[in-house]
Structure 1
């Protein structure tokens, strides 16, 4: 099992949306490094820290579980979608997503500012200067520390 952090803008898709939908497809990733994680490394059963970005404050709000992995993003083939990619072919898709479900909401919202002060998280990708990737690997020790703080 691996651990991840997925960033989402809550005005586009929030933890409330994930809870309401039960299982949701994580689409629209158009960064090659994040795509490579989704295509090659994120697997069924992996756990995800659910992070609200582009809001004030930003932070981790809960945990989700991957229920299906390595799914070609159907929006890449839809010319009416903002995620359409004319270079992508159904027989050789360029973009991938996953399906996930909510595991738990945190009782405590964990802001990025707070996370930066926590011992044991100083090497976490999220707290590094310039870290903007929407899908990030998380070490088990970091995941355990964060889930303890969140509950």
Structure 2
């Protein structure tokens, strides 16, 4: 089993949106970074743990726990001319962008970015590294356990 931190802007898809969605599952569409796409396409497995992270908002941080619910498949938004994720270079016979489905495990209290930065057990997390802008990053088993411990404290 692997673990991931996946960023979503709450006005695009929040943890509450995930909770309200059919089967509490959403397709993780719109990823337009090759490294993040490759994580989904080549490394994610059904059942992998996900830290659902709210980004680009007044208080960023981990808002819940989820799991990978599908293998990677073509992101249909790349072909939709009305979508902000449309990619005119993408071809149906050779899709450029892939995504997975993500299923809610449970909503948590917000573990803020500030609180994460102050936790010595999380100092190695990729999301905390200067200059990191990836929307999907691997999380080590030790970091996963540390996040769960911090969330259980309160």
- Which has a greater percent of strand? 1
Say how many residue pairs are matched: 150
In the aligned structure 1, how far is the partner of 2:114 from the partner of 2:98? 31
Deviation at 1:99, TM superposition (A): 0.6
- Which has a greater percent of helix? 2
In the aligned structure 2, how far is the partner of 1:139 from the partner of 1:15? 22
Matches within 5 A, 1:98-113: 98-106=100-108, 108-113=109-114
Give structure 1 stretches of 5+ with no counterpart: none
Deviation at 1:128, TM superposition (A): 0.9
Matches within 5 A, 1:87-102: 87-102=89-104
Secondary structure of the residue aligned to 2:127 is helix
Give structure 2 stretches of 5+ with no counterpart: none
In the aligned structure 1, how far is the partner of 2:28 from the partner of 2:34? 15
TM (norm. structure 2) is: 0.93
User: What is the CA RMSD across the aligned residues, in angstroms?
Assistant: 1.0
Deviation at 1:131, TM superposition (A): 1.3
Retained in 2: the 8 A contact 1:62–1:150? Answer: no
TM (norm. structure 1) is: 0.95
